[in-house]
Amino acid sequence: MRLHRLDITAFGPFGTAQRVDFDELSAAGLFLLHGPTGAGKTSVLDAVCYALYGAVPGARQSGQGLGLRSDHATPDVRTEIRLELSVAGRRLEVTRQPPWERPKKRGTGTTTEKAQSWLREHDSVAGSWKDLSRSHQEIGEEITQLLGMSREQFCQVVLLPQGDFARFLRADAEARGKLLGRLFDTHRFAEVEKRLAERRRAAEAEVRAGDTALLADAHRMQQAAGPVVEEPLPDLVPGDPGLAGSVLAWAAVARSTAREVLTVADCARGAAESAQAAADRALDDVREVDRLQRRFTEARERAARLEQHADAHRDARTRMERARKAETVAPALELRDAAEAEHRRAVTEETRTRAALPETYAGAGAPGLAAAARKAAEELGGLESARRAERRLGELGAERASLDRQERADEDVLQDAESWLGDWEETRAGVEARVDTAQEAAARAEQLAVQREPAFKRLAAARLRDELAQDTETAHARSLAAREQATEAHARWLDLKEQRLQGIAAELAAGLVDGESCAVCGATEHPEPARKIAGHVDRETEERALAAHRSADEKRAEAERRLGVVREALAAATAEAGDASTRRLEEQAEELERLHSEARTVASGLHAAREAREQAEREHERRLTAQQEAARRVAARASHRDSLDREKASLEGELEQARGAAVSVSARATQLERQVALLTEAADGVRAAEDIARRLKDADARLADAAFRAGFETPQAAAAAMLDDVAHRDLQRQLDAWQSEESSVRAVLAEADTAAAARRPPVDLRAAERAAESASRRLRDTASARDAAARRCAELNALSTRATGGARRLAPLREEYERVARLAGLAAGTSADNERRMRLEAYVLAARLEQVAAAATVRLQRMSSGRYTLVHSDDRAGRGRSGLGLHVVDAWTGRERDTATLSGGETFFASLALALGLADVVTDEAGGVRLDTLFIDEGFGSLDDQTLDEVLDVLDSLRERDRSVGIVSHVGDLRRRIHAQLEVVKGRTGSVVRQRGV
């Protein structure tokens, strides 16, 4: 993996867009990333991690999401990280935009936009970028698969955090195990331990559950047997020997006793069933005789009621017969009523149509009215030609009016065109002048833009120069104050130390004991021990003074370092800004900005001026064309107007003769059309009234004949005898009910069984029911007893079968539990067979740590001039577990000691060697992905010059096969030794990066 370019916008301390060219920095193989504390050196590494994995390193994860945004960025600039890199032979570009809280486009307040990601790949053949994905999940999976490392592994392997490895050297086995577990992904072995423990617990639970279930089945069998089995259940608990045999033997006795009770219950139920059958047959006989006797009595009562209503039945039957005769007269009656109604309507219509006619036609018959209608229709047909002429005359007037309007419009067009074309030359000169002015302003704006950027850079440098001048004075004052405080603290410590030495005899005398030797003279008697005087200085007071002296000296060194950094920055800003005052530079920049804005304002009208010129030319062409077309239309319109005048005079003479006394031919035609319609309607009404009168007379004759044949004296009598549908249905229903009731009564009285039962004495139904109920109750009791005995036998059989199966299954489960328990104890390190008490995961990690120690030793020996070697140790620490010990072998003494005993500088290059070795092992673990870019963070300040040279030589050797290493450090000596540098400079408006290649 090689990094090429990193673009940072509004991220962390960087308020504006910054670019880091790793190709330029990597040309030398070794480059330095430096800057003051808090400037943002680590934020550059965070940006690389965020671009690849969408998250910053673990220690800074609290800054995810909206917290990644720079406080120095303007509200309209979105946070964005873009990283270009090569991995696995592919050149990729990853772009990340975290969630952004931006101002609303409408109204006040803010709105949050979602995070976005892009992944592109460079096509070397086409020479362009192609999009691969915009999904966060897909991009994360693709990057992880290509790198072969998780985010935690990447942060440990590529961004080597020296502080973490220094803690790793001093940590105990548990802390080392956590770090190695994250890097080498050994959680699967921990899962094996967990699964074995879970299986052990599950097997133990199954064994205990089997014993408990067997005893539970025994108690259920005891409850099911009840008082039938007198022998008590053995007093047993889970785990007792012979538990299964005792339970199964007691179950066999209970089953045998229950079967004997079931046989006795079967015999009792059979006897009860026979007694109930006899009682049921006797009850059925008594119920049948009682039913027949009651049926005969009810039939006699119904026959008496029919006899009482016999006269009403005869009257209803006579009325029904007359209604049926009248039904034959109904069609004639309906026909006569319809004819009468139609005659009334025809007479009314005739009266209405005659009223609309003139008085001359009041007594005319149908033939006379029809002849008058035909005469009026013939006159109407002769007016058709005159009506067409009248319509044409109206069209001529409309055409003449249209010609007048067109003539006025053309006159307006000609006048407007002549007026506009007269001013054309002046208009064209004006738009050409606008275009020329805008083009000159555009050229002037480009010239001013070239002058504007250097002026603003000098102004920014001058402002920074002024700020740094004030900071230099402040830092110088603080340095002097810190130096004075350090001197005072040093003098006070020396004074206290001298006072303590003067009174050291009293301090030693305080520890003398009679009979024990003095630490100074060796005497066992102490006749006159020294006494502490007032103001005696003890060891604790001296140590506090020494700590204060050291703290003051550290503050002095820090103040001097800060003063040097500020002075260096002031010199750079002064070199860029020059000797001109900030006020002068501001005036020059403002003047350039004003001139540039004015030129841009004028130049912005160039497009509009060109469009105005093109529009004016198009308008000139349009006006000229319109003038020529209007002249042609005026010439053609004169001849058309003359032909219209001649046609109008001819038509007016023809129409004056055709319309007569009417206002117009159309009015005359309307009068004739109405006259024809009225005469025709009146003739039709007279003929219809005459026809309907003849039909009414025929209907009267047919009605009288039908009534006579039906047996009625008059048609009115036949109409009175008729019934409507409702009355007819009610009367028919009464007659049918009477006939049905009469037939039913005769059928019941004719039954032989009913008559025979009526002759017998009344029976006692209640006594027979009581006897049958008593027999049924005895049967239910015996059946319940038999069912209870059967259920008891079935339940005992089922429980015995389940208990037998449970006892058979329990034996292999107990064997499985013992085998799994041995394996779980061995994997967890609690078994006696595991002598070193090493867990399975610790055993795997110990092998990885041994590889890491071997890889780290190769570089550690070179850094320490062959003195130190890292070795893995699996010795137990006290009563704890073993497997993850790490020792250092000192070649000068030949002794092996713990890494926690190393000094500060030794700890640094030991942890650096460990980090590089771990990077090699993790890289091999991840599939051998080549890491062409590494970063090492801090720790070089604890090295002397010789050790620093050796460490840099080791790092310089990493450049083999085109590998580059970035060092993150404050050490000033590294700036002289490493020429390729990336400096992060902080300011009031945010940090910026400055890059310097070889």
Residue by residue, DSSP assigns 407-421 as HHHHHHHHHHHHHHH
Residues of 575-612 as b/e, b for ≥16 C-beta within 10 angstroms? eebeeeebeebeebbeebeebbeebbebbebbeebeeb
Residue 707 vs residue 80, higher pLDDT? 80
Decide if pLDDT at 993 tops 80. Answer: yes
pLDDT in tens, 771-780: 888 888 888 8
CA 761 to chain centre: 91
The reported pLDDT for the residue numbered 662 is 62
pLDDT band with cut points at 50, 70 and 90 for residue 19: very high
Note the pLDDT tens digit of each residue in 908-956: 767 777 777 776 776 666 554 566 777 776 556 556 666 666 667 666 6
Nearest Cα to Cα of residue 443 among 322, 652, 288, 599:
599
Residue whose C-alpha is closest to residue 813's, from 197, 193, 199: 199
Going by pLDDT thresholds of 50, 70 and 90, the confidence category of residue 59 is: low
Query: Which pLDDT value is given to residue 96?
Result: 92
Q: How many CB atoms within 10 Å of residue 957?
A: 13
888: β partners? 870, 897
Burial class (CB in 10 A: 0-12, 13-18, 19+), 507: middle
Cα atoms in the Cβ-side hemisphere of radius 13 Å centred on 837: 10
Query: Would you give the distance in Å from CA 553 to the centre of its chain?
Result: 59
pLDDT at 143: 84
Confidence of residue 880 (pLDDT cuts 50, 70, 90): very low
Give the pLDDT confidence score for residue 63 in this predicted structure.
43
State residue 381's pLDDT score: 65
**Residue 959 — pLDDT band, cuts 50, 70, 90?**
low
The mean predicted confidence, pLDDT, of the chain is 77
Give the Cβ contact number of residue 732 at 10 Å: 14
- Report the predicted TM-score, pTM, of the whole model to 2 decimal places: 0.39
Maximum mean pLDDT: which of 79-93, 760-774, 902-916: 79-93
**Whole-number Cα distances in Å, 413 to 409, 629, 631, 863:** 6, 10, 10, 100
Confidence of residue 893 (pLDDT cuts 50, 70, 90): confident
> What is the C-alpha to C-alpha distance for residues 514 and 524, in angstroms, rounded to an integer?
7
C-beta separation of 369 from 686 below 8 A: yes
CB 685 within 8 Å of CB 349: yes
In 3D space, the residue among 585, 586, 604 whose CA is nearest the CA of residue 596 turns out to be: 604
10 Å Cβ neighbour count for 22?
Answer: 23
pLDDT range class, residue 654, cuts 50, 70, 90: low
Mean local confidence (pLDDT), 740-746: 81
Q: Is the dihedral of CA 258, 259, 264, 267 positive or negative?
A: positive
Rounded Cα distance between 434 and 666, Å, is 68
What is the β-pairing status of strands 90-97 and 868-873? unpaired
Give the least confident one: 273-277, 839-843, 953-957. 953-957
Please give the torsion angle defined by the CA atoms of residues 486, 489, 495 and 496, in that order, rounded to the nearest 10 degrees: -150
Instruction: Name all contacts of 508-512 with Cβ < 8 Å and 24+ positions apart.
Output: none
Question: Quick one: pLDDT at residue 658?
Answer: 60
pLDDT surpassing 70 at residue 240: no
pLDDT class of 819 with cuts at 50, 70, 90? confident
Supply the pLDDT for residue 390. 66
Q: pLDDT tens across 25-55, in order?
A: 887 777 888 888 778 888 888 898 889 888 8
Higher confidence at residue 161 or residue 577?
A: 577
The pLDDT of residue 6 is 92
In this prediction, residues 216-221 reach a mean pLDDT of: 80
Of 216-220, 321-325, 922-926, 979-983, where does mean pLDDT reach its minimum? 922-926
Task: Give which of 840, 906, 904, 838 is closest to 874, Cα–Cα.
Answer: 838
Closest CA to 10 of 101, 107, 85: 101
Residue type, 159: L
Note the pLDDT of residue 879: 45
Q: What DSSP state is assigned to residue 867? A: -
Average pLDDT over residues 482-490: 86
pLDDT digits (tens, 9 = 90+) for 489-508: 888 888 877 777 767 666 66
DSSP run (H or E) holding 144: helix 136-147
Strand partners for 91:
86
Averaging pLDDT over each range in 92-96, 417-421, 791-795, 811-815, which range is the top one? Answer: 92-96
> What is the pLDDT, as a whole number, of residue 120?
92
- pLDDT grade, residue 664 (50/70/90)? low
Got the DSSP string for 168-224? HHH--HHHHHHHHHHHHT-HHHHHHHHHHHHHHHHHHHHHHHHHHHHHHHHHHHHHH
CA-based end-to-end distance of the chain: 22
